[in-house]
Amino acid sequence: MFDAVETDTKLTLDGVTSGYGPVAIIKDLSLSIRKGEIFALMGKNGMGKTTLLKTILGLVPSREGEIRLDGRSITGAAPKVLIKSGVGYAPQEQPLFTDLSIRDNLRLAVRSDRELDAALEHVFTHFPFLRDRLAQKAGTLSGGEQKMLILSRALMLKPDLILIDEISEGLQPTVIAQIAKALQAERAESGTTILLVEQNLNFALEVADRWAVLKLGEIDDSGIAGPDSRERVLEHLKI
């Protein structure tokens, strides 16, 4: 657990380099995200977006630089310590236990059964369909429903910061709209800071306050989100 210091910034990366084996994927990257902000990180496949999230969470070690949460260094901290400190994670990989029920998958996110009922009620406000289907096996859900379950599990404890990786990938527009509404509501109700890795420009620029494009492990451009940002972002995403 980390004691916060007085700052308007939730997450800071200062000259962070990380990667796998001898290969550096993230290169001297600096980024600052304000409290209560939704920040969209975009880029083509293979640019290091997922590696960056895993570096923040401690799943990939940082080789250089510093990562700060609420002004305190979390560089090198274990994922379980960060989760206890209020960091949630919705990974791109399907991390569900498909043979377990929806309830049991959500139960994994809380520390004890005493917290379970209140946490369930919280996610039901975003995705009401879960209420009547808690006994259903997670593997029988549609692709969109599974993504909503993944996000629900990350939201169970009302994290202060949530890292979300390609949540809209392969989803129908109606499901993406539900997820966008849930993220905006969570920020409005709980002041949650959200770092959203996305390739869906319309979705990302609709929900985000600011954006950045990652190219070969470095920030290529950044700006304020809005309709006027689309063409600028597209220029950076061209092959």
Predicted confidence (pLDDT) per residue in 125-145, tens digit: 999 999 999 999 999 999 999
Edge-first strand order for the sheet with 23-34 is 23-34, 9-20, 62-69, 72-73
What residues contact residue 208 under an 8 Å CB cut-off, 6+ apart? 38, 39, 40, 196, 225
The predicted structure's pLDDT at residue 141 = 94
| Span 64-85, pLDDT tens digits | 999 999 999 999 999 999 998 9
220 has pLDDT over 60: yes
Residue type, 15: G
What residues contact residue 218 under an 8 Å CB cut-off, 6+ apart? 27, 28, 29
How far, in Å, CA of 189 to CA of 76, rounded? Answer: 31
Q: How many C-beta neighbours within 10 Å does residue 137 have?
A: 16
Residue type, 46: G
226 has pLDDT over 90: no
- Write the class of the CATH domain 9-237: alpha beta
The predicted structure's pLDDT at residue 206 = 93
The predicted structure's pLDDT at residue 195 = 98
pLDDT band at 7 (very low <50, low <70, confident <90, very high): confident
Question: Is the separation of the CB atoms in 197 and 164 below 8 Å?
Answer: yes
The predicted structure's pLDDT at residue 56 = 97
The mean of the pLDDT values for the chain is: 92
3 has pLDDT over 80: no
CA distances from 60 to 51, 53, 189, 209, 210 (A): 7, 9, 31, 27, 25
pLDDT band at 18 (very low <50, low <70, confident <90, very high): very high
| Span 43-68, pLDDT tens digits | 999 999 999 999 999 999 999 999 99
Q: What are phi and psi of 184, to 5 degrees?
A: -65, -40
DSSP calls for the chain:
-----S-SEEEEEEEEEEEETTEEEEEEEEEEEETT-EEEEE--TTSSHHHHHHHHHTSS-EEEEEEEETTEE-TT--HHHHHHTTEEEE-SS----TTSBHHHHHHTTSSSHHHHHHHHHHHHHH-GGGGGGTTSBGGGS-HHHHHHHHHHHHHTT--SEEEEESTTTT--HHHHHHHHHHHHHHHHHH--EEEEEES-HHHHHHH-SEEEEEETTEEEEEEE-STTHHHHHHHHH--
